Amino acid sequence: MKKHETFADVISARGIERRDFIKYCSLIGTYLGLSAAMVPKIIFAMETKPRIPVIWLHGLECTCCSESFIRSAHPITADIVLNMISLDYDDTLSAAAGHQLEAVRKQIMKEYKGKYILAVEGNAPTKDNGVYCMIAGDSFTNVLKETAADAMAVIAWGSCASFGCVQNARPNPTGAQPVHKIIKNKPIVNVPGCPPIAEVMTGVIAHLLTFGKLPELDRLKRPKAFYGTRIHDQCTRRSFFDAGMFVESFADDGAQKGWCLYKMGCKGPTTFNSCAGIGWNEGVSYPIKSGHPCIGCSEPNFWDNGPFYTRLAEIPFVGTNSNADKIGMVAVGAAAAGMAAHAVGTVIKNKRSQAETTEKED
């Protein structure tokens, strides 16, 4: 019989010492925000659990979630793909193509019924019978439903799969809808971000592998461990925000000194993500650190909450160039004008009725 090889087997086959293996497990624990007491559990899981089959589908998307995934450093991607999971179907990386590849998907669905993970990158067009994304002659929407039916759980990678992202921005020409709008009866974890941070993606997988279930989720179905805090609350520029020291132009002194980007439209105060904590590409930087405001890429509808470089959003139902202050000032102006007009009306009315009274008295 074929032996199911565990992560620990592979690690030792590579000549990695047990001490390093344990260190690695505690690192994962730290990323997942777990207490030290949980580390033995991770070690146990890595030593005993066989690899979980994963089917990774691509819908309307840009594949940058996959690209982000292969940037993972803890653990490195090769370890995940070869040792932690069994990435059996992924059109971006799979060696087979065409019907040979589709056969793999069908086989996993059958052989691992209820036991495989469905990872979805991108989302599904709902207009015109789904013709805006077709795979092997069928709509992606159908393929998604079919593959989800027997999955243990669904991971929605990135803002596309989680919330809709760019193709779902106004006017959403293809009727793109996120995964949770299509798949209603499966546990779903949303891992938003455009793209999500690599270590957040692999952290979710490590959690699944370690505990055999999805991580704890918030009300938008995001893992609390990575989406529990706003960027703003962990931001390295926060002291400048509190002090009121703001960049007003990318060419000014404040920019040169790394002040707060709030007035350049930074969406950090309204964005839940780990950018300021874990950081990007092994913690080298994150958007704000490199001088550009956060555009809120892990938030629902962030494309339509713009423009990106102003603090105040356009109010969608009023139109472009509108914002709360402009609308408010027009309303105040209208109230003042109405008041003035009414006052004039009152004076005229009083004069008239006075005149009437005088007439009567006469």
Partner 1 sequence: MARLYEEQYVWRLPVRIYHWINAICITILFPTGLYIASPIFSPSIGEAVWYHQMAWIRYIHFGTAFVFLANFLFRLYWALFGNDRYARFAGFQPWKPIWWGQPFKDQLASYLFIRKDEPNYCGHNPVAALTHFLFVFCGSIFMLMTGLAMYGETNTGGFIDTLFGWVMLVFGSTHAMHTMHHLVAWLFPVYLILHIYAVVRHDIVDRSSTTSSIITGYKHRVEECPEYAD
Partner 2 sequence: MARKIVVDPISRIEGHLRIEAVLGDDNVINEAYSSGTMWRGLEIILKGRDPRDAWAFTQRICGVCTTVHALASVRCVEDAIGATIPPNARIIRNLMNATQHTQDHLVHFYHLHALDWVDVVSALSADPKQTSVIAQSISPWPKSSPGYFSDLQKRLTAFVESGQLGIFSNAYWGHSGYLLPPEVNLLAVAHYLEALDFQKEIIKIHTVFGGKNPHPNYTIGGVATAIDPDGSNVINIEQLNMIKKIIDDTNTFIDQVYIPDLIAIAGYYKGWLHGGGLGNFLSYGDFPETDINDPSSYLWPRGAILNKDLSTVYDDIDPKDPKHITEEIAHSWYEYDRGMKKLHPFNGQTKPKYTGPELPYKYLDTDKKYSWLKTPRWKDNPMEVGPLARVLIAYAKGNDEIVGLVDYVLDQLKAPKAALFSTLGRTAARGIECKQTAGLMRHYYDQLIANIKAGDTRVFDDALWDPERWPDDCKGFGSTEAPRGALGHWIHIKDRKIADYQIVVPSTWNASPRDAKGRSGAYEAALKGTPMVDPEQPLEILRTIHSFDPCLACASH
Residues near ligand F3S (CB under 6 A): 231, 271, 273, 275, 286-288, 294-298
- Write down how long the chain is: 362
Contact pattern from residue 289 through residue 308 relative to partner 1, giving x for each residue in contact according to CB under 8 A and a dash for the rest: -------x--xxxx--x---
**Footprint on residues 322-341 left by partner 1 (CB under 8 A):** 324-325, 327-329, 331-332, 334-336, 338-339
- Calpha distance 308→304 (Å, rounded): 9
Identify the three-state secondary structure at position 52: strand
Q: How far is the CB of 245 from partner 1 (least distance, A)?
A: 5
**Footprint on residues 227-256 left by partner 1 (CB under 8 A):** 228-230, 233, 239-246
Identify the three-state secondary structure at position 320: coil
Check the CA dihedral 24-28-33-36 and report its sign: negative
Residues 311/263, Cβ–Cβ less than 8 Å? yes
- Calpha distance 294→231 (Å, rounded): 9
> Considering CB distances under 5 to 8 angstroms, the limit depending on partner class, which of partner 1, ligand F3S, partner 2, none binds residue 68?
partner 2
> Under the criterion CB under 6 A, does residue 90 sit at the interface with ligand SF4?
no
> Considering CB distances under 5 to 8 angstroms, the limit depending on partner class, which of ligand SF4, ligand F3S, partner 1, none binds residue 305?
partner 1
Of the candidate residues 32, 231, 278, 295, the single one contacting ligand SF4 (CB under 6 A): 231
Phi-psi region of 178 (alpha: psi -120 to 50; beta: other; left: phi over 0): beta
- DSSP-assigned beta bridge partners for residue 174: none
Q: How far is the CB of 157 from ligand SF4 (least distance, A)?
A: 7
CB under 6 A: which stretch of 76-84, 129-137, 153-161, 199-207 binds ligand SF4? 153-161
Contact pattern from residue 286 through residue 315 relative to partner 2, giving x for each residue in contact according to CB under 8 A and a dash for the rest: xxxxxxx--x-x-----x--xxxx------
> Under the criterion CB under 8 A, does residue 249 sit at the interface with partner 2?
yes
CB under 6 A: which stretch of 72-80, 160-168, 176-184, 248-256 binds ligand SF4? 160-168
- Calpha distance 123→212 (Å, rounded): 26
- Calpha distance 167→183 (Å, rounded): 19
Residue 72's Cβ-count burial label (10 Å; 0-12, 13-18, 19+) is buried
- Calpha distance 348→362 (Å, rounded): 21
- DSSP-assigned beta bridge partners for residue 188: 154
Contact residues: partner 1, CB under 8 A: 218-219, 224, 228-230, 233, 239-246, 259, 262-263, 267, 269-272, 296, 299-302, 305, 311-313, 315, 324-325, 327-329, 331-332, 334-336, 338-339, 342-343, 345-346, 349-350, 353
